[in-house]
Chain A
Amino acid sequence: MLDQIKEFASGFFVTGDPLIYGADVAIAMTMIAVVSVLTYFKKWTWLWREWLTTVDHKRIGIMYVIASLLMLFRGGVDALLMRLQLAVPNNDFLTPEHYNAIFTTHGVIMILFMAMPLMFGLFNLVVPLQIGARDVAFPFLNSLSFWLFFFGAMLFNVSFVIGGSPDAGWLSYPPLSGKAFSPGVGQDFYIWGIQISGIGSLATGINFVVTILKMRAPGMKLFKMPMFTWSVLSSSLTILLAFPILTVTIALLFIDRYFGAHFFTLDGGGNPMMYINLIWMWGHPEVYIVVLPAFGIFSEIVATFSRKRLFGYASMVFALMSIAVFSFTTWAHHFFTMGSGADVNAFFAITTMAIAIPTGVKVFNWLFTMYRGRISFPTPMMWTMGFIPCFIVGGMTGVMLSVAPADFQFHNSYFLIAHFHQVLIGGVAFGYFAGLYYWWPKVFGFKLNEKIGKWAFWLWNIGFYVCFMPQYALGLMGMTRRMSTYGWDRGWWELNLTSTIGGFLMGIGFLFQVWQILHSIKFMEKDTTGDPWDARTLEWSIPSPAPHYNFATIPVVDSKDAWWEEKQRLVQGEAPKPKPPLEPIHMPKNSGIPFIMGFCWFVAGFGLVFDWLWMAIPGLLGVAGCMLAHSFNYNTDYYIPVDEIKATEAAARRSV
C-alpha cells in the first residue's frame, strides 16, 4: 500500500529538480500565509462577499490586474531562467527537458495568462466609465469570464508541480504535441488550461461588443466614442471571430490525444500542417487583439498630456478597424518556409506588409497630436514616449520579416524572437503599463509614486534594448530559437550574456514597480478631484474610486472629449448643465455561481488531464448544475435608493 502511494506520488508530483522543490516550498508557504492572514483577520466572509462573488466590473477589473501581475512574475521568472541557461555556452543549469518546458510556459503565460487578463482588466476598469454606463452588458457573464480565466490559468500553472509542464512550444505544434511524441500529461494541462480560460475570453469579447454598442450614454454616437473604447471594440470583435478557431483547434488536438483520432497525427491520414494553419488563424489575430487596446491607451494618454485633441480621429478609427480586418489575412506568414509555393507566399507577404500602413498612420497621428501641444511627461506619457521608438523599430523588423524570401533567413531565428518581443513588450506591455499608471488614480483614488516609477521606466527601457538588440544580431549569426544550449565555437556567448544582463535589468524594473505600488499604497495622498491628470473623457468626471453605481446621473454627451468640453464651458463661466433629479439605480446582485462554476471546470479539467473520469464527470455535472441554478435564479437585481446615492455622493464631496 505504502509502495503504491509512493509510486503514484513520484509520477504525480514533479520530482528530481531542486528548483521545483524550491517552488513547492514557496507555493506551500504562500498558501499557508494567505490562509493564516485571512483567518487571523477574520476576512473570509469579506473575501467571499466583496470579491469572489462580485459582479462589479471595477472589482473584476482589479482581480484581473492582480492575477495578471502575478502571472507576469511567473512568466518573467521563466524568462530569467532561460536567460541564465543561455548566458554561457554548454551550460547545464537547466536540463533540455526543463528548458523546453520553461520556454513553453513562458510563452503561454505571457500571452494568454498575462497580456490577455491585463487587457481584460483594463477593459473592465475603464470602458463602462468611459461610455457613461453603470456596468457591462452582462455582469454575471463578466464574473464568469474572470473565474474561467482564473481557474484555467491555475490549472495550467499546477502542471509546474503536479504531473509535469507542457514542453512542445507555446503553440504546441503536432506531431510533437501528439500522444506519440508527448505522452505525458503536460500537453493535457495545456489543452484544458487554454480551453477553460478561452471560453472566458470569448465571453468577454461578446460582453464588451454588446456593452459598447448598447450601453453608451445618450448622445455618445459611435464617432463620439473615446479612442480607447474604439480600440476595445475592434479588439473584442477580433476576439469574437478568432477565439472560436482556437477552441476548435485545441478540441481537435484533444480528440487526437484522448480518443486516438488522426486530425494532426503523422499516420492514419492526419495532417499536422492543418493544425499549424488553424492555430495561426487564431494566433495572428491574437497579437492584434492584445495590441489594439494598447493603441487606444496611447491615444488617450497622448491627447491628455499634450493638452490637445487627438489628431485625425476618423483615420485613427479607420486604422484600428482595418488592422482588425487585415489581422485575419496574414496567418501564413508564420510559416513561409512550409513550401506552400510562390503564389501563397507572395499573397501573404503583401497582406502582411499592408498592415504596416494603418499602423504607421497611427504613429503619425500620435506625433501630430503632440505637435503644437503643451506636453508634460508623467509616467504614463513616459511609457508612451518609450513605446513610439520601440514599436516603430519592431514594426520595421516586422516588415523585413514579411518579405517572404528574406524570411527564409530570419524564420525561427533569434531575429524573429527579437522582433516579436519588441512589438509585444514595446507595444503591448509598455502600453498596458502606461494604461495602468494612467488609470490607477481612477481605480484606487491615488496616484503612483512618480520617482520610483521613473526608475522602473528607465530600467525597463534600457533593459529592453540591452536584452533584445543583441538577439537581432544572434539571429543573423544563425542562432535559432528554442536551443537549450550552444557551444563555444559559435561566437554567440558574448551577445547572449549581454542579452541576459538586459533581461535582469527588466526584472529589476519589475521589482521597482512592485515597490512603487507598495510605497504608493502607504504614502501617496488621496486624490480628491477625481481628475488628477486634467483629462478629457467621462471616467474623469466622477469621484475616484468610482462609486459602485459609477454615475449618480447618466451624463448626456454632445462631443468627443465630453468631460474636457464640460470643463471648458465652466472655465468660460457658463453654468454647468442642469442635472436630472436622482432616481433609484438598478444594479445587478452578486452571485457565487461564477466562482463555483469556475471551480467545477477546474475539477473537470484536472480529471480529464489525468483521465480520471470519477473526477471529470462530477466536475462537469457541477458545471451543468451551476448553469441550471442560474437559469432558475430570478433574484438577480436590486435598486439603490436615492438616499443612499445622496450619502455616497456627499461622502465623495460631490453635489448632485
Chain B
Amino acid sequence: MNLTRGMRRLAALSSLIGMTVLLSGCMDKFYVLDPKGPVGRHQLDLIIISTLLCLVVIVPVLILTFVFAWKYRNRKDSKAAYQPEWEHSTKLEMTWWGIPILIIIILAVITASYTYKLEPSKPLEHPAKPITIQVTSLDWKWFFIYPEQGIATVNYIQFPADVPVKFELTSDAPMNSFWIPQLGGQIYTMSGMAMNLNLIADKPGTYFGTAANFSGKDFGKMTFDAIATTQAEFDKWVQTVKQSAPPLTQDGYDKLAEPGTMGTQDYSSVPEGLFEKIVTKYTGPNGHQHVHKVEENLPVNQDGGGEAPESSAHHHH
C-alpha cells in the first residue's frame, strides 16, 4: 500500500521535473548553468562536483527509504525478519559516520582551494590589461563610472569581451549586491568601502545583471544589461557617449542619488574623484575606524586623476 503511494509520489515528482523542463523551454535561460566567462565556469564546475558528491549519499538513502518502508511494512503474512530488540551495530554506525566524513573532507579540500582561487578581489590571469568599472548601488538604480574613459552610465554597462573587468563596488544607499550570473557570482555593495569583483566575458553578448540584496521599495526594478562587445565597438561606444551624452555634475549626481527609478542613461564626463567621494562621504568626525579602513584599502585618488594602485584596491576586514 505504501509503495503505491510512493509510486504515486514518484510519478508526481517526475512529471513535475518533466513539466519544469518543458515549461522553461530553452536551457539558455538557466544563466548559472550557462556561464560565459571563466569565473562562472569554475563556479559551475564546483556546483557539479558538490552535487555529485552529495548524490553518493543521497541516492542510496532515498532507495533505502523506499525499500525499507516497503519490505518491513506491517502485514499479517510478512516473511521479513523482525528484530525488535536490535538497536546497535558498531560496524554499521562506523560506516555511516565514516562515509559522510570522508565525503565532506573531499568536498572541504576542493572548496577551500576554489575559495582561494576564486576570491573575487583577486585579479584574473589574462594577457589583456583589465578595464575598471566603478559601481555604485543607489535607490533604486545602478550607477557606473568608467574612470579610465571618464564617462558614466546608469542601469547598463558596456565593456570589451575577452578583457578582464575589474569592478570596484560601493553603495550610496542601503547595501545591495551586484550580480551578473552568466559571468560569475555576486558581491555586496556597501557604503563606506569599495569591494572588488573581477570578471571576464568570453564573447560579445548581452548578459542579465541584477540587484541581489533587498534595498527597499523598488529593489525589484534594479536589473541591468551587461553588454560585452569587441574592443573596437567598445571604443566607438565610448566616443559616442563622450560626444553625444550630457556631462554629469555633482548636482546632477546628488539628484541621481535621490530615491527613485529610471531607465538607462549616459554621461560624457563625471566630476573628478566622484567615486572616492561617494566611498568616503559617510566617514564623519566619529568615523575613525572607517577613515582608517578607507585609507588603508581604497584606491583613493584624493588629488584627482591617476590610476588606482592595483595592490591597495582590496577590501579586507
For A482, list chain B residues within 8 Å (CB). 214, 219-220
Asked whether B107 lies within 8 Å of A372 as measured between CB atoms, the reply is: no
CB < 8 Å neighbour of B192 from A266, A371, A478: A266
Asked whether A308 lies within 8 Å of B83 as measured between CB atoms, the reply is: yes
Asked whether B181 lies within 8 Å of A371 as measured between CB atoms, the reply is: no
CB < 8 Å neighbour of A462 from B12, B92, B187: B12
Q: In the complex where A181-B216, A346-B112, A367-B68 touch, is A339 in contact with B315 (Cβ < 8 A)?
A: yes
- Please report the total number of A residues contacting B with Cβ < 8 Å: 103
Asked whether B187 lies within 8 Å of A408 as measured between CB atoms, the reply is: yes
Judge if A345 is at the interface, Cβ distance under 8 Å: yes
Q: How far is the CA of A635 from the CA of B35 in the complex (A)?
A: 72
Asked whether B210 lies within 8 Å of A176 as measured between CB atoms, the reply is: no
Judge if B50 is at the interface, Cβ distance under 8 Å: yes
Judge if A320 is at the interface, Cβ distance under 8 Å: no
Asked whether A476 lies within 8 Å of B210 as measured between CB atoms, the reply is: no
Asked whether A375 lies within 8 Å of B100 as measured between CB atoms, the reply is: no
Asked whether B104 lies within 8 Å of A349 as measured between CB atoms, the reply is: no
Interface residues of B in 67-85 (CB under 8 A from A): 68-69, 72-74, 78, 80-85
Judge if A268 is at the interface, Cβ distance under 8 Å: yes
Q: Mark A546-566, 1 if CB is under 8 A from B, else 0.
A: 000000000000000000000
Q: In the complex where A357-B100, A357-B101 touch, is A385 in contact with B65 (Cβ < 8 A)?
A: yes
Asked whether A409 lies within 8 Å of B23 as measured between CB atoms, the reply is: no
A474 and chain B: residue at smallest CB distance: B24
Q: How far is the CA of A304 from the CA of B168 in the complex (A)?
A: 59
For A585, list chain B residues within 8 Å (CB). none
For A494, list chain B residues within 8 Å (CB). 23-25
For A476, list chain B residues within 8 Å (CB). 30-33
Q: How far is the CA of A311 from the CA of B117 in the complex (A)?
A: 43
Q: Which of A231-239, A281-289, A432-440, A484-492 is the interface stretch?
A: A484-492
B195 and chain A: residue at smallest CB distance: A339
Shortest beta-carbon distance from B135 to chain A in Å: 13
Judge if A389 is at the interface, Cβ distance under 8 Å: yes
Shortest beta-carbon distance from B298 to chain A in Å: 13
- Chain A interface mostly: helix
Q: Mark A374-397, 1 if CB is under 8 A from B, else 0.
A: 111100000001001100110010
A479 and chain B: residue at smallest CB distance: B210
Q: In the complex where A96-B218, A339-B315 touch, is A356 in contact with B111 (Cβ < 8 A)?
A: no
Asked whether B100 lies within 8 Å of A367 as measured between CB atoms, the reply is: no
For A338, list chain B residues within 8 Å (CB). 188, 190, 317
List 5 A–B pairs whose Cβ atoms lie within 8 Å, in order of A's numbering: A375-B69, A392-B61, A399-B50, A406-B50, A406-B185
Q: How far is the CA of A96 from the CA of B218 in the complex (A)?
A: 6
Judge if A370 is at the interface, Cβ distance under 8 Å: yes
Asked whether A350 lies within 8 Å of B112 as measured between CB atoms, the reply is: yes
Judge if A340 is at the interface, Cβ distance under 8 Å: yes
For B54, list chain A residues within 8 Å (CB). 396, 399-400
For A269, list chain B residues within 8 Å (CB). 283-284, 286-290
CB < 8 Å neighbour of A372 from B30, B46, B83: B83
For A357, list chain B residues within 8 Å (CB). 97, 100-101, 104
Judge if A449 is at the interface, Cβ distance under 8 Å: no
Q: In the complex where A339-B315, A344-B317 touch, is A409 in contact with B96 (Cβ < 8 A)?
A: no
Asked whether B42 lies within 8 Å of A405 as measured between CB atoms, the reply is: yes
Shortest beta-carbon distance from B14 to chain A in Å: 11
Shortest beta-carbon distance from A189 to chain B in Å: 18
Asked whether A372 lies within 8 Å of B81 as measured between CB atoms, the reply is: yes
Asked whether B46 lies within 8 Å of A403 as measured between CB atoms, the reply is: yes
For A477, list chain B residues within 8 Å (CB). 24, 29-32
Judge if B121 is at the interface, Cβ distance under 8 Å: yes
Q: In the complex where A342-B119, A374-B78 touch, is A400 in contact with B31 (Cβ < 8 A)?
A: no
Asked whether A368 lies within 8 Å of B92 as measured between CB atoms, the reply is: yes
Interface residues of A in 338-367 (CB under 8 A from B): 338-342, 344-346, 349-350, 353-354, 356-357, 360-361, 363-365, 367
Given contacts A267-B287, A345-B115, A494-B23, 15 further A-B contacts (CB under 8 A): A181-B174, A181-B216, A307-B84, A308-B83, A346-B112, A349-B111, A349-B112, A354-B104, A371-B72, A376-B74, A403-B46, A409-B186, A476-B33, A478-B181, A485-B220
Q: How far is the CA of A469 from the CA of B57 in the complex (A)?
A: 20
For A484, list chain B residues within 8 Å (CB). 219-220
Asked whether A364 lies within 8 Å of B61 as measured between CB atoms, the reply is: yes
Judge if B161 is at the interface, Cβ distance under 8 Å: no
Q: In the complex where A349-B112, A361-B96, A476-B33 touch, is A469 in contact with B17 (Cβ < 8 A)?
A: yes
Asked whether A409 lies within 8 Å of B43 as measured between CB atoms, the reply is: yes
Judge if A404 is at the interface, Cβ distance under 8 Å: yes
Judge if B264 is at the interface, Cβ distance under 8 Å: no
Q: How far is the CA of A490 from the CA of B208 in the complex (A)?
A: 9
Asked whether B43 lies within 8 Å of A408 as measured between CB atoms, the reply is: yes
A371 and chain B: residue at smallest CB distance: B68
Interface residues of A in 181-233 (CB under 8 A from B): 181
Q: Mark B189-222, 1 if CB is under 8 A from A, else 0.
A: 0111001100000000000101111111111100
For B191, list chain A residues within 8 Å (CB). 175, 266
Judge if A169 is at the interface, Cβ distance under 8 Å: yes
Q: How far is the CA of A495 from the CA of B100 in the complex (A)?
A: 33
For B100, list chain A residues within 8 Å (CB). 356-357, 360-361
Asked whether B81 lies within 8 Å of A311 as measured between CB atoms, the reply is: no
Shortest beta-carbon distance from A123 to chain B in Å: 26
Shortest beta-carbon distance from A126 to chain B in Å: 22
Judge if A470 is at the interface, Cβ distance under 8 Å: yes
Asked whether B212 lies within 8 Å of A412 as measured between CB atoms, the reply is: yes
CB < 8 Å neighbour of B287 from A268, A339, A385, A400: A268
For B92, list chain A residues within 8 Å (CB). 364, 368
